[in-house]
Structure 1
Amino acid sequence: MAHPASTSDPAQSADLLSHPVPLSVPAARPWERVDRRTLWWIATAVAAVLVVWFGTLAMRHLIGPDEGRYAEISREMLATGDWVTIRYNALKYFEKPPFHMWVTAVAYAMFGVGEWQARLCVALSGLLGIGMTMLATWRWFGARAGWLAAIVLLGAPMWSTAAHFNTLDMTLAGAMSCTLATMLMAMHPDATVAERRRWMLACWATMGVAVLTKGLVGIALPGLVLVCYSLVARDGTLWRRLHWGAGLCVLLLVTVPWFWLIARRNPEFLHFFFIHEHWERYTSNVHSRSGPLLYFVPLIVGGMLPWAGLFPRMWRALRSGPTGTSFQTAGPQSVGPHSVRPNSARPHSFRPLLLAGVWAIAIFVFFSISRSKLPGYIVPVVPALAILAAVVLDRMDARAWRRQLTVAGAIAALCLMASPIVGSLTANNIPNLFYRTYAIWVAITFALMFAGVVLARWLAARERLTASMVTYGLAMYVAFTVALLGYDTVGRPLSGADIAPVVARKLTPEMPLYGVRTLDHTLPFYVRHPLTMVAEADELGFGVSVEPSRWMPTLAAFEAAWNDDGPALAVMSPDTYQQLAGKMPMYVVARDYKRVVVSNRP
């Protein structure tokens, strides 16, 4: 395919974009040779994104259950010095491995205990996922596609928002994005034997980190993807390039020490973790987290909303080319900025887009048929979707891109008009007043989204296609960051942060803080003091079963301790307070709409 020799003329660039390169043979791109002005703009945009990415970590209060739970587990880990046996409210908590909590505890040790420190692990995981996805896409499909992959992930609310919530799902997704990226790097036809070995060992290491983050899914999901890819591509040669011997050694070196130590110290761990938390969780509704078969469909559409219009083209991209045809990269023998990249001299049947598509579909199906479903489970599919979307964008002409912007603008306008619906909600026992305030932030979000579409459309009309795509992605990132920050109108009252200073002034380190028929996931973090559970163990049932002396199983036992064991505080729901206030001495220390904190002394 011939291309014009000069790229300084916008009209010529437009002509280049109107004749996209076939998906099976990407050509060298003129924009890969950037001038200083372009580099300055890139550096400025990256710096601005990083400022927003990390600068907003402390602008919201922690919400339960996940954010408060993992923040408090990490705080107790640092306070006790026990980095092996995980505890929550001083009780054994074996539902998840420790990697996420280790990173958070290190952040506490380095920077102090706080909200942004509690979210630092997920922020780093999300940023690492963007960087590694960009690197792999760049390697296979060129610099422009690599940058577009980063923009897609940044503008996808499921990724950028999840990277600012303190949950294990984002840490797992970050590790698995590295697994996918390092696999793609290792399978590149121009990789040397030493390079392939290094990337594959890194791939095995990232699977080990994933196992230490959330268990066996860290190896089960990549294994499922490889099996499905081999069947769909009819290519079993991939399995011979995985460096099994050294790779398994790396995997075991990363994972075995902690599993061996915790099993040695806690004989009950193995059965609970591997049988209850893996097999029973997946095959039954033991945690009451069931959902319909299509549970994740709206989550994927909403989580990739700015790019959802690309789904049909992404489907065609992953199916492009016959079996045995791969995307080839430019070799050192490229003769000019517009030359078609020559195929590798070595026969190579690996299909990176097919692997990315199988990755997304296999993981989606795996969790869809599970009996246990939560929104965060599906986050690991987003980097694979970003690779597909980036390649589609890289080969999209100006006319097709303008159509995508038209659809996005219509969606933004409809969502803006529908935003008052948020002000009518009363979900999750949250007062409607908080939702009415949040509805304003939702309206601002979709107004910004619409403004971003308008600006991107203006740039596209002037044949500045790359600038239009980048502007659109950054505008989506800003818009959904505003929605995230605005959610503190709901999250702050939920967190108990407003009453925590009053409670902390009354609470001494030796004084018990009882959780009466309630497991408050956030207040313990804010007052830096664990709960002693009373009457209902909630999700700490396993902990109280193996350490029954660490809780009050009945209200009668609590009443005896409340009256005779010295000064104490207790947190409970307003309903429980009304039931118990006339039966035992209770002096209100602080209260909000969700909880009442009382003392047994005036």
Structure 2
Amino acid sequence: MQHRSDRLADEPGHDIARPAAPWHAARFAGIPVVALVVLAFVLLWFGTLDVRHLLGPDEGRYAEIAREMLSTGDWVTIRYNGLKYFEKPPFHMWATAVSFSLFGIGDWQARLCVALSGMIGLGVSMLATARWFGARAGLLAGLVLAAAPMWNVAAHFNTLDMTLSGVMACVLAFMLLAQHPDATPAARRNWMLACWAAMGVAVLTKGLVGLALPGLVLVIYTCVTRDLALWRRLHAPAGIALMLLVTVPWFWLVDQRNPEFLRFFFIHEHWQRYTSTVHARKGALWYFVPLLAGGFLPWLGLVPGMVRAVRQRAGVSDTGGTGGIKPFQPALMAALWAVSIFVFFSLSGSKLPGYIVPVFPALAILAGMALTQTGDRAWTRQLRAMLVIGAIGLLASPIVATLNSNNTPNVLYRAYAIWAALAFALVIASAAVALWLLRRQSRMASVTGYAFGMLLAFSVALLGHETIGRSASGIDMIAPIERVLRPGMPLYAVGLLDHTLPFYLRHPLTMVAQADELAFGTEQEPQKWLPTRDAFVEAWQHGPPAVALLSPSAFAELSTRAPMHVIARDWRRVAVTNFPFAGER
């Protein structure tokens, strides 16, 4: 089949790219060059996982849940600090626990799941783009996604959002692959079954959103195109059966062991989370607009071309469908995927930055297509714009050194300001090198160099955050605490829920007075916590040897009521014992 994108050619004085090569017949500069480029991206992607310590709340929380899962051998009932924790399904924690079992417990092992999810999402997006728009477009889509800040940063934070986004990228890509007009009946069936299975994994990652979002996109697509025949090509009976096979066993097992699970999970964690502000994660209707713009910053100049690709029905043949069947519109599907998910979460009563990460593979598919139709002049304008943005960021980076907050002292911001300046300097250098490559080599070399430079720049900005994240993680307190903390010894948390120290200490907390996000668990197992500070003082004075983590304000109050021997302290927490020890401060 000859697609619209395959018939466009360069003309002198026109800003149109060469025609895309067939998806199976790309010509490259050479296998060694391609191998070196891929190796560079992979090393930068995976080689930075262990440079930073884990941050709270998400990174420490999910790492500790996985550690406790591996330690107890209970892979059904999710627990956090020994308490039932039913806010999320288990797939991400299962994958992390497997990583721990294979490679040991550590920072990079905790982030391996998200890094792989990001890379898998990138790979399947390239595959789907290449199938519809040619191999060159597929390569460009991969470069776009790798260098999209929101995608590559999320792929280096241990959160469920990135794992979900990687799986959702599979859902979109498999749908696109299944609907290609040249797909054989067997290939269409297999790709659609893979799509349904991926939706099942998405449900096991973050709940019904893994089914609701693809369903929403499909409904809107068929309303816009009036292509109801698409529903007959979904292989729904077999697909639904496969999806249920993936999801039902865990839900059945956890409900059998915990009758309270279903109501909390589906009512509180789904309906109330979306329709109310019960989780205190408010945000204006435009909350995600700056996140979307910043998360796609290096490629914003491609937006007009992306819109044009949708309006011109990129990938659809002029002859239309056969036998009265309407042709599938891949660019429109990708566009509706991005827009629908963006609007869905914008209307939610609960908002967090990671919620819109699933839109970026769809944007990358459109951007890869747009780049094949972008000429030298348009690409030059994009690079010059990034030179300006990088210069503005570099000049503004000293502002970071003036920041201060109750949670982060100014001295840490001053250290991070240097890294922010370096990141913007790399943005400038990347755009400059890309301009040089455009004149001396080719547009593909220019885009590749630009994408790698942007990935490097944002990686530097992320790695530099260790100047703040190290103390936030509490890693410097681990050694002194480990000298006095023994297995089975109570480790109380008073006035704070520390999300990272339990993981690094390999020791769960016992909550005191303030249950925080463990309120559901303390309601189910009230014997596993101390509901008042008076109860803590009583246990501290008359109970077994123990260690406690206190907020500075809680320490100031309680140290006047009970003897406390300080082990270590930082600007977030104070670690104390109820017994004297050698080397006491």
TM-score, normalised to structure 1's length?
Answer: 0.92
Shift of 1:109: 0.6
Once residues 150 and 548 of structure 2 are traced to their aligned partners in structure 1, the CA distance between those partners, rounded to angstroms, is 37
2:298 matches 1:306: yes
The 1:537/1:33 distance shift into structure 2, 3 A limit, reads closer
Shift of 1:54: 1.2
Determine the structure 2 residue equivalent to 1:486.
464
2:125 matches 1:133: yes
Determine the structure 2 residue equivalent to 1:353.
331
Please give the residue correspondences for 1:157-306 in structure 2 after superposition, counting only pairs within 5 Å. 157-306=149-298
Where 1:258 maps in the other structure, the secondary structure is: helix
Once residues 416 and 300 of structure 2 are traced to their aligned partners in structure 1, the CA distance between those partners, rounded to angstroms, is 25
Determine the structure 2 residue equivalent to 1:400.
378
Shift of 1:327: 2.9
Once residues 101 and 27 of structure 1 are traced to their aligned partners in structure 2, the CA distance between those partners, rounded to angstroms, is 41
Contact 1:14 1:463 in 2 (8 A): no
Determine the structure 2 residue equivalent to 1:518.
496
Once residues 454 and 438 of structure 1 are traced to their aligned partners in structure 2, the CA distance between those partners, rounded to angstroms, is 25
Q: What do residues 76-114 of structure 1 show as CA deviations (whole Å, max 9, x unaligned)? A: 000110000000000000000000000000111111110
In the alignment, which of 3, 17, 21 is matched to residue 28 of structure 1? 21
Q: What do residues 14-57 of structure 1 show as CA deviations (whole Å, max 9, x unaligned)? A: 85985447xxxx6536994435x522111111111111111110
Letter in 2 for 1:391: M
2:307 matches 1:318: no
Shift of 1:459: 1.8
Please give the residue correspondences for 1:383-532 in structure 2 after superposition, counting only pairs within 5 Å. 383-427=361-405, 429-462=407-440, 464-532=442-510
Q: What do residues 387-423 of structure 1 show as CA deviations (whole Å, max 9, x unaligned)? A: 0111000111111111111111111111111111111
Shift of 1:485: 0.5
Determine the structure 2 residue equivalent to 1:4.
none
Segments of structure 2 that go 5 or more residues without pairing to the other structure are 1-8, 581-585
Once residues 471 and 31 of structure 1 are traced to their aligned partners in structure 2, the CA distance between those partners, rounded to angstroms, is 24
Letter in 2 for 1:535: A
2:316 matches 1:327: yes
Letter in 2 for 1:365: V
Once residues 27 and 158 of structure 1 are traced to their aligned partners in structure 2, the CA distance between those partners, rounded to angstroms, is 28
Once residues 393 and 90 of structure 1 are traced to their aligned partners in structure 2, the CA distance between those partners, rounded to angstroms, is 51
Once residues 322 and 35 of structure 2 are traced to their aligned partners in structure 1, the CA distance between those partners, rounded to angstroms, is 36
Once residues 434 and 368 of structure 2 are traced to their aligned partners in structure 1, the CA distance between those partners, rounded to angstroms, is 17
Determine the structure 2 residue equivalent to 1:333.
none
Determine the structure 1 residue equivalent to 2:32.
40
Letter in 1 for 2:576: V
Of stretches 379-388 and 572-581 in structure 1, the one that deviates more from structure 2 is 572-581
Contact 1:17 1:396 in 2 (8 A): no
In the alignment, which of 525, 534, 537 is matched to residue 547 of structure 1? 525
Q: What do residues 474-527 of structure 1 show as CA deviations (whole Å, max 9, x unaligned)? A: 110011011110011011000001111111121111100000121000010111
In the alignment, which of 82, 88, 110 is matched to residue 118 of structure 1? 110
Once residues 411 and 270 of structure 2 are traced to their aligned partners in structure 1, the CA distance between those partners, rounded to angstroms, is 40
Letter in 1 for 2:316: F
Contact 2:10 2:16 in 1 (8 A): no
In the alignment, which of 335, 353, 365 is matched to residue 375 of structure 1? 353
Contact 2:127 2:173 in 1 (8 A): yes
Contact 1:141 1:327 in 2 (8 A): no
Shift of 1:312: 2.4
Determine the structure 2 residue equivalent to 1:5.
none
Q: What do residues 167-212 of structure 1 show as CA deviations (whole Å, max 9, x unaligned)? A: 0000000000000000000000000000000000000000000000
The 1:280/1:290 distance shift into structure 2, 3 A limit, reads same
Of stretches 117-126 and 408-417 in structure 1, the one that deviates more from structure 2 is 408-417
Once residues 284 and 442 of structure 1 are traced to their aligned partners in structure 2, the CA distance between those partners, rounded to angstroms, is 36
Letter in 2 for 1:81: G
Once residues 417 and 447 of structure 2 are traced to their aligned partners in structure 1, the CA distance between those partners, rounded to angstroms, is 28
Once residues 316 and 441 of structure 2 are traced to their aligned partners in structure 1, the CA distance between those partners, rounded to angstroms, is 27
Q: What do residues 191-243 of structure 1 show as CA deviations (whole Å, max 9, x unaligned)? A: 00000000000000000000000000000000000011111222212111100
Aligned pairs, how many?
572
Q: What do residues 442-468 of structure 1 show as CA deviations (whole Å, max 9, x unaligned)? A: 110010010010111112234611111
Contact 1:64 1:522 in 2 (8 A): yes
Once residues 378 and 498 of structure 1 are traced to their aligned partners in structure 2, the CA distance between those partners, rounded to angstroms, is 34
Letter in 1 for 2:168: M
Letter in 2 for 1:238: L
Shift of 1:344: 8.3
The 1:144/1:51 distance shift into structure 2, 3 A limit, reads same
Shift of 1:282: 0.4
Determine the structure 2 residue equivalent to 1:537.
515
Letter in 2 for 1:273: F
In the alignment, which of 84, 99, 109 is matched to residue 92 of structure 1? 84
Once residues 478 and 15 of structure 1 are traced to their aligned partners in structure 2, the CA distance between those partners, rounded to angstroms, is 35
Alignment identity in percent? 60
Once residues 319 and 16 of structure 2 are traced to their aligned partners in structure 1, the CA distance between those partners, rounded to angstroms, is 19
Contact 1:446 1:479 in 2 (8 A): yes
Once residues 301 and 532 of structure 1 are traced to their aligned partners in structure 2, the CA distance between those partners, rounded to angstroms, is 42
Contact 2:23 2:132 in 1 (8 A): no
Letter in 2 for 1:394: T
Segments of structure 1 that go 5 or more residues without pairing to the other structure are 1-11, 329-340
Shift of 1:425: 1.4
Shift of 1:251: 0.4
Determine the structure 2 residue equivalent to 1:332.
none
Letter in 2 for 1:327: V
Once residues 378 and 584 of structure 1 are traced to their aligned partners in structure 2, the CA distance between those partners, rounded to angstroms, is 48
TM-score, normalised to structure 2's length?
Answer: 0.95
Shift of 1:565: 1.5
Please give the residue correspondences for 1:8-19 in structure 2 after superposition, counting only pairs within 5 Å. 18-19=15-16
Once residues 16 and 601 of structure 1 are traced to their aligned partners in structure 2, the CA distance between those partners, rounded to angstroms, is 82
Where 2:49 maps in the other structure, the secondary structure is: coil
Once residues 320 and 232 of structure 2 are traced to their aligned partners in structure 1, the CA distance between those partners, rounded to angstroms, is 22
Letter in 1 for 2:190: R
Once residues 397 and 52 of structure 1 are traced to their aligned partners in structure 2, the CA distance between those partners, rounded to angstroms, is 29
The 1:233/1:463 distance shift into structure 2, 3 A limit, reads farther
